[in-house]
Amino acid sequence: MVNIILAGAGGRMGRAILNLLPNFKGLKPVGAVDAEGNPSIGKKVLDVTISSDLSKIIGKCDVVVDFTSAEASIKNLSMAFDARKAIVIGATGLNKSEMAELKKASERIPVVYSPNMSVGVNVMWEIIKRASDLLGKKYQIDIVETHHVHKKDSPSGTAKKMIELVASDQPVRVKSLREGEVVGEHTIIFSSPYEKLEITHRALSREVFAAGALKAAEWIVGRPAGLYNMKDVIECNH
C-alpha cells in the first residue's frame, strides 16, 4: 500500500483526484493540504482532514501529489526534499529558476513532473515530434489551445511543450483561447500550400489528468532519485 498526501486538495484538480482515488486500491490517502484561508481547510475527505501545513504531516506519506501553483509546488518540493519523500507535480507555469530547483531536488528524491498528466497528451507529444521531423521546415506550424476562463497561464504548459518539441529555428504561431469551463483542447496544424495535417487532443473531464497523476504516484515510490515524466510512467505500464 502506497500512502499519499494530496496538495491542492480544494482546487479543481484536487477534487478530481479525490473523486478518483478510491478506484486506485493500492493508494491510501493519509493527508490533504491546501493554502491557508482556503474554504476547504478543516473539511474531511476520504477519512482525512484538509489542513494548511504540509510539513506537519509529510512524515506519514510515501509520496506527495501536488496540483497547486508553481510557487506553492516549489515550497512543497522543498519539504519533500527535506523529508526524502517522492513527489508528483502537475503544476504548470514553472519558470527557469523553478525548473532548476526541480532538477536539483531530483538529485536526492524521485520526482515526476509533467505539464500534462494525460496519457493521451503524452502520446500526442510523441506523434507531433515525429510529424515535425518528417515534414521538415516546409510546413507552417500553428497551435491552438483552449481552456476554461479560470486558467492563469497562457499559453498553456502543454502548448509550451508542443512548441519545444517541434521548434528549432522554425516559427510557431500560437493562439490561446479562454472560454467557459473547457477542460483542455490542443490542436497542432502543419500546413503547406497543398495540404494540411491537424492533430487534436480533447480532455473530456479533469479525471483524465487525475488518473495520470495517480498512476504516477503508484509508479514513483521506490524509484531511484531522478527527474521523471509521464512518458517514463506510460512506458513502464505497457
Note if 150 is an active site residue.
no
Strand partners, 136: none
- Catalytic one of 147, 161, 186, 201: 147
The one catalytic residue in 28, 60, 151, 160 is 151
* Residue 30 grid cell: 493519509
Place of cell 505539464: 115
Measured CA to CA, the distance from residue 81 to residue 111 in angstroms comes to: 10
Alpha-carbon dihedral 230, 167, 195, 202, rounded to 10 degrees: 30
Q: In what order do the strands lie in the sheet with 196-203?
A: 172-178, 140-147, 184-191, 196-203
Tell me the C-alpha distance between 198 and 93, whole Å.
Answer: 26
Confirm if 201 and 118 have CB atoms less than 8 A apart.
Answer: yes
The region that residue 82 occupies, defined by phi over 0 for left and psi between -120 and 50 for alpha, beta otherwise, is alpha
Would you call 186 helix, strand, or coil by DSSP? Answer: strand
Work out whether strand 44-45 and strand 48-51 pair parallel, antiparallel, or are unpaired. Answer: antiparallel
End-to-end CA distance of the chain: 21
Q: Known catalytic residue: 28?
A: no
Instruction: Give dist(CA 127, CA 8) in Å, integer.
Output: 31
CB 113 within 8 A of CB 152: no
Active site residues: 147, 151
